[in-house]
Structure 1
């Protein structure tokens, strides 16, 4: 089977697709993965770029309304336009038997219809599949149960997608004949790459929604290097990462994490990522190691506690490792996951970003440390899931 995989976004949106691509290739399928330009070229996977630099798109020069508006016009809109057109162009060139896509790839339905092949939507958090049991993960009310009004919150992501309707229409020039199909067929299936341990399946999702569990590499974890390995072995460690979230004062956040960890006698592995965390000179010491990135699957099993931003990928990786957490959500689906991890007993109540100080973080760390037993239990259950295998079983059944 020829499988076209289309994803857009940050590391948490790319790595699961890479895991699926590798597993599908190992089972004899011909796979093409279209991904952001700054994601690199993962080994063992045939890839094509989408003309999108996720880091530039997510890094405005300022937070003032005028700066954000200028960034949207100068960076976001052109990048989305390039990505939507490239997704069509590369899919047509590959001529797949099935199109599997991230919700941000808004032209996937159009090109699948034009080629007459089935389309499969992938969700890493419930944003496109409505439920009355909880609100949309990316909406403004993601942490509040609105009861009978929960379903209405899923209109927010749909409205955001309509902002790019003109760019979708322009991308039709890349289709055979250069015209958009007059119909839109529904997705043949939805792959909800979410652990049922963290989010039990609601009773109102339709049958074509397959909750596979999270997608991750099932091969042995990559080495994290001798420096990190020795640091992890020297005593209890907090692993702190804000991933691609670079909003605000990174040094102040790093200082808060280090000071709060020291109040509990914990050492700190500070993963600076795209600049969301930084280590101020006055907080350096033998009990702190700052690194730009690490393979989480290699590091987290040795952690006592994690402090993170609540992205879907990080939330699942920390929970799968059996590590309790303090979540400091920033945007998008992160408040949803922060609340869900707390409900499942594996994280303290979320610490708002604007209140991130050592004084706020220290008691949250203390609360999280009392949850080690529950975190270990959840980790054991999640490690029994084989998300990429189940996802590929669904695709093969098409």
Structure 2
């Protein structure tokens, strides 16, 4: 089977697609992966092509926030999306796949799939496209609206209409007439070919709503097993030194990383914990006056390799990080910045796996110290959840769905 995988966004958006590409290739399928530039994800051995947009550069220059997108829409965000939408069509046509699997932001993916007469499958790392009455669309509303929850999912279609003309221009490359570009503002546009939604989410973290259609597949997370750190490395030596708090804010780079690092260090020391700071794209920094033998700061490490035995994790609530921490059986303190992160913070807290989330603008050492204490009490529940999550085979489940289309 020839699979075209198209993703957009930062590292957390690319890693699951790269894992699926490796899994499918390992089972003998021909896979091409369209990705943004400079994602930081290991793509060695994969047939990967550029979608001509660099979210890493945008984040490093301007940070991540809705206001960033608005301020730089005309100069950077809009042109980047335009290039990405056109590249997705061009690369898909060149590959001639049997199925197109895509991130919701790749708005031209359903149209090119329909033009080729092949199935198109949207990947929802957070359930923002498939409506439900169980909860509002993550990233749109941060409180339950009851019977009005389903209406919040229209936001994705409204946002997509901003790029209607760009979609039309990109689709001028298509060899045959297709439905109007406006129909692609929904991830599952009308058509006669089979469509489905794959959600790389554990049912232990998000029980399946009763009103989701049968075409939605809650597969479990998509990840590859990470190797452990080098036995001679300073990281492994540090992890052997005693109970540890692991902190990462991934690609979140807005605000004051020094102040966040200070809050993390002071709260860890208040509980007698060592601290491993994963500074990521600049969201965390180690203040000079807080350096010591009980703290190690490194840019990045595979979470699966460093969470074993950790006392807890402080993180931004990105879907990939949420699953890595939960898989390790470690309790969370979620410090959400934007988008789906408040959703995951509330979800984990409601399941008894995390402290009450602290919005990043309200993060202080005092609040975080209290949250660490609350999270440590969640340890037994987190370990029980980890025992149930670890046997899940998300990649194999997703692959079986694609093969059956």
Question: Would you call these one fold, judging by a TM-score over 0.5?
Answer: yes
Query: Which residue pairs with 1:216 in the alignment?
Result: 223
CA distance in 2, matches of 1:107, 1:54: 19
For 2:134 and 2:226, the matched residues in 1 are separated by 37
Which one of the candidate residues 189, 194, 199 is aligned to 2:206?
A: 199
* Change beyond 3 A, Cα 1:53–1:65: closer
Note the C-alpha offset of 1:58.
3.4
Match of 2:376 in 1: 369
For residues 389 and 277 of structure 2, what CA distance do their matches in structure 1 show? 25
Which TM-score applies when normalising by structure 1? 0.95
**Matched residue of 1:37: which SS?**
coil
Q: Is residue 80 of structure 1 aligned with residue 87 of structure 2?
A: no
SS at match of 2:123: strand
Contact 2:102 2:122 in 1 (8 A): yes
Contact 1:124 1:312 in 2 (8 A): yes
SS of aligned partner of 1:269: strand
- Distance apart, 1:12 and its partner CA: 1.1
**Corresponding residue to 1:280 among 282, 287, 310:** 287
CA separation in 1, counterparts of 2:95 and 2:368? 49
CA shift for structure 1 position 63: 9.0
Give CA deviations for 1:279-304 in whole Å, capped at 9, x if unaligned.
11011111110000001110111311
- Are the counterparts in 1 of residues 307 and 330 from structure 2 also a CA contact under 8 Å? yes
Query: Following the alignment from structure 1 to structure 2, what is the Cα–Cα distance between the partners of residues 262 and 220?
Result: 29
Matched, 1:245 2:252: yes
Q: Does 1:15 align with 2:32?
A: no
Task: Return the alpha-carbon distance in structure 2 between the equivalents of residues 129 and 89 of structure 1.
Answer: 27
| 1:26 pairs with 2:33 | no
Where 2:308 maps in the other structure, the secondary structure is helix
Aligned partners of 2:277 and 2:298 also within 8 Å: yes
The aligned residue for residue 114 of structure 1 is 115
TM-score under structure 2 length normalisation: 0.93
Q: SS of the residue aligned with 1:58?
A: helix
- 1:303 and 2:304 correspond: no
Asked if 2 retains the 8 angstrom alpha-carbon contact of 1:224 and 1:299, the reply is no
Measured against aligned partners, the alpha-carbon deviations of 1:3-52 in whole angstroms (never above 9, x if no partner) come to 00001111111111111111101111000011111126612211101001
Q: What is the RMSD computed on CA atoms of the aligned residues?
A: 1.8
Once the two structures are superposed, residues 349-372 of structure 1 have per-residue CA deviations (whole angstroms, 9 ceiling, x without a partner) of 001211111011000000000010
After TM superposition, give the deviation of residue 181 of structure 1 in Å.
3.9
Structure 2: unaligned runs, 5 residues or longer: 184-188
Q: List alignment gaps of at least 5 residues for structure 1.
A: none
* 1:36-185 to 2 correspondences below 5 Å: 36-39=36-39, 42-59=43-60, 61=62, 69-139=70-140, 141-142=141-142, 144-176=143-175, 180-182=178-180, 184-185=189-190
The number of residues matched between the two structures is 394
160-169 or 264-273, larger mean C-alpha shift = 160-169
C-alpha distance in 2 between matches for 1:270 and 1:380: 26
Secondary structure in 1 aligned to 2:276? strand
1:98-122, CA deviations, whole angstroms, 9 ceiling, x for partnerless residues?
0000101100011001111111111
For the residue of structure 1 that corresponds to 2:292, the secondary structure is coil
The 8 Å contact of residues 63 and 252 in structure 2, kept in 1 or not, is answered as no
Post-superposition offset of 1:133: 0.7
Q: Distance in 1 between matches of 2:230 and 2:246?
A: 13
